[in-house]
Chain A
Amino acid sequence: MDIKHYNQKPKRKAKFFNPPNTLKAKAGSGGLSEAILDRSQDLLENHTVDFAPLAEIYISQMRDGITAAAALGKATDSEEAIEKILMPCVQLKANGTMFHYPLVTRIADRFVQFMEVVERLDEETIDISNAFLTALTIVISGKIKTDGAKHGEALVEELNRACMRYFEKHKLDIEKKK
């Protein structure tokens, strides 16, 4: 075994610190009881904050991003253009379930995963983006505060299949990116 690597002097100097654990000193030991955690979870599940007005703002930002990319009339690999569509969708993914719209989180999560991998915005990615946008708009405007049962499942699966078809077609590009 070549042990030269392990015998080298460190190339960068680093200092290590162990700051005092003031949180531990104040909190003590034993954690929180299941009863407290259950009560907190109830609070999270039963709040009445209306997410729809904020969700509509995110949907509108997403639509603006898609419209701007489509208006270019040609494919673009601009990170800025991709992020204008992606970022509002990240917010929808993050907040959907926490504000009683689990289907929004599921749909948006699929789209975020898709957008994190695509290399450019072209006609196909814009079509897929529009399909996700339409689905999200329907869920929010229809105030569908469940997982959408069978229809929700079918919708997510169909959107997922659209992404998979894209990945299959552009396999080489995506492999190269990895």
Chain B
Amino acid sequence: MAYNLQDIKILLVEDNRGMLHLVKAVLQSFGVGQVITALDGDSGFNEFCRHNPDLVITDWLMTPCDGLELSQRIRTDPASPNKFVPIILMTGFSEERRVISARDEGITEFLVKPFNTRDLYRRLYKIIESPRQFVESEDFFGPDRRRRRVEDYNGPLRRDIDENRDGPISPDDIVFR
């Protein structure tokens, strides 16, 4: 038995056309049936409302509307057809404060660029096999931010951890203090 991704619809939002085509090709090589694309957060949200995809993969740094704003709109806009949809954020940032801000906008998984196909697959697998429960409070709506704690984080030495880590940092890798 193996995954059959033929019925899965993914929205991919990325302003770098080269990267957009590359990630789209990788998803198609995974067997994903439909990959819808958009070049920024605004058109990404329109495509999201039109197609109601099963998963959103978005870049962070885009203009005029970036990946975090897109995520916030998906989670809170009354026009959003599915505020629970999993969202993977692709970015060159890996610093803790950046990951925290992404997590606070309702991102499900964080994929640090550059990445390889196994990094992308690991995120996809995690979303399929271990979905996060959602939380709604006065000031937050999104995937539960408390799924796991990392105990070996030692503040200033975080980059030693970064350099020795296996894969990209994820919202799960953040320690709450």
Contacts and interface: CB of A to CB of B under 8 A. Distances in A.
A112 interface: yes
Interface string B6-24: 0110000000101101100
Contacts, number: 137
A178 B155 contact: yes
Interface stretch (B41-49, B72-80, B87-95, B169-177): B87-95
A127 B75 CA distance: 43
A33 B4 CA distance: 11
Interface string A166-178: 0000000000001
Given A49-B21, A54-B18, A93-B113, 8 more contacts: A16-B144, A23-B127, A28-B3, A31-B125, A41-B117, A51-B18, A105-B114, A178-B155
Interface of B: 1-5, 7-8, 16, 18-19, 21-22, 25-26, 29-31, 54-55, 61, 84, 86, 90-93, 95, 113-118, 121, 125, 127-129, 131, 133-138, 144, 155-156, 159
Interface of A: 12-19, 21-24, 26-33, 36-37, 39-41, 43-44, 47, 49-51, 54, 87, 90-91, 93-99, 105, 112-113, 116, 178
